[in-house]
Amino acid sequence: MVFRYPSLPSTNDEATRFVRTQRPPEFSVVLALDQTAGRGQASNTWKSEPGANLTCSFILYPRFSQPERAFLLNMAMALAAADCVSALCSGELHIAPAIKWPNDILLSDLKVAGILLENIWQGQRWDACVAGIGLNLNQSDFSGIVGAASLYTLCGLTFERDVALSHLQQAVKARYRQWELMPDEILADYNARLWCRGEYATFLKEDGSQLLLKLDSVDERGLAITSDSAGAMEAYPHGKIRQLR
């Protein structure tokens, strides 16, 4: 079931309202042609050219109550977005999309998709998850947006939104089932696509200082496992450090 809107401030907010008032079937999608106040991780915003991109939210009803499953679901949705990008661009580009920790999708080192998962808890029970996914399809102007691109600017093709949505729906369902049945595979697949894995990169700390760290992996809790030049290892949650380009 797809709920289509010409314009919405946030597809995640509308999907959350549906969960609380109507309980639509799992994998229902809220789709907006124009999302005017999209949100990303932390206080970031998702800026999208009206009518040019795919901005949507999936409604999921996880059947697990363990909080540790939450970031694995985040990984699954990042993989689904990457799978969708691969399906759309497989004939044009010979490079695979990568996942920048925690869940930006990069193609040719440029961000083409972002994800925001918002969990709804009823006491200790994981009641629902709203998975917002924004995919830059046909946007051509990225003035003032550093490090972003669209499939159009990278592939030189115009993409149909409904075709992209169909690929994304298939990928979300497949990765969600994998997350339910084989969560260890989700963790392995995520780390196999991890951008700059095994390389030294600059990370920005909360206080504005910078660290040069090697990103070894991301664990099931979403912590970045890093090592410095002396080999000392440390696990960081997203927010404590942020990977720069």
Provide DSSP, the chain. Answer: -EEEEEEES-HHHHHHHHHHHT-PPTT-EEEEEEESSEE-STT-EE---TTTSEEEEEEE--S---TTHHHHHHHHHHHHHHHHHHHHHTTT-SS--EEETTTEEEETTEEEEEEEEEEEEETTEEEEEEEEEEE--S----TT-TTB--HHHHH-----HHHHHHHHHHHHHHHHHHHHH-HHHHHHHHHHTBTTTTSEEEEEETTS-EEEEEEEEE-TTS-EEEE-TT--EEEE-BTTEEE--
Residue 225 belongs to domain with CATH number:
2.30.30.140
Do residues 62 and 19 share a domain?
Answer: yes
pLDDT above 80 (res 14): yes
Give residue-wise pLDDT tens across range 133-176.
Answer: 999 999 998 888 889 999 999 988 999 999 999 999 999 999 99
Do residues 233 and 125 share a domain?
Answer: no
The upper half-sphere exposure of residue 29, i.e. CA atoms within 13 Å in the direction of its Cβ, equals: 19
Residue 22 — very low, low, confident or very high, per pLDDT cuts 50/70/90? Answer: very high
Do residues 223 and 188 share a domain?
Answer: no
- Tokens (6 digits) for 192: 């196999």
Given this model, what pLDDT does residue 142 score? 87
Task: Report d(CA 55, CA 132) in Å as an integer.
Answer: 8
Do residues 188 and 205 share a domain?
Answer: no
Do residues 216 and 180 share a domain?
Answer: no
Q: Are strands 200-205 and 125-135 parallel, antiparallel or unpaired?
A: unpaired
Give residue-wise pLDDT tens across range 172-210.
Answer: 999 999 999 999 999 999 999 999 999 999 999 888 899
Given this model, what pLDDT does residue 44 score? 55
pTM of the model: 0.93
Given this model, what pLDDT does residue 40 score? 57
Do residues 73 and 188 share a domain?
Answer: yes
Do residues 84 and 183 share a domain?
Answer: yes
Do residues 145 and 28 share a domain?
Answer: yes
Residue with the two structure tokens 């679901």: 73
Do residues 13 and 87 share a domain?
Answer: yes
End-to-end CA distance of the chain: 38
Give residue-wise pLDDT tens across range 212-229.
Answer: 999 999 999 999 999 998
Total of domains in the chain? 2
CB 205 within 8 A of CB 94: no
Do residues 148 and 29 share a domain?
Answer: yes
55 versus 95: the higher-pLDDT residue is: 55
Residue 109 — very low, low, confident or very high, per pLDDT cuts 50/70/90? Answer: very high
Which residue range forms the structural domain that includes residue 126?
2-192
Task: Report d(CA 61, CA 26) in Å as an integer.
Answer: 6
Do residues 172 and 216 share a domain?
Answer: no
Task: Report d(CA 9, CA 153) in Å as an integer.
Answer: 26
CB 58 within 8 A of CB 170: no
Do residues 159 and 228 share a domain?
Answer: no
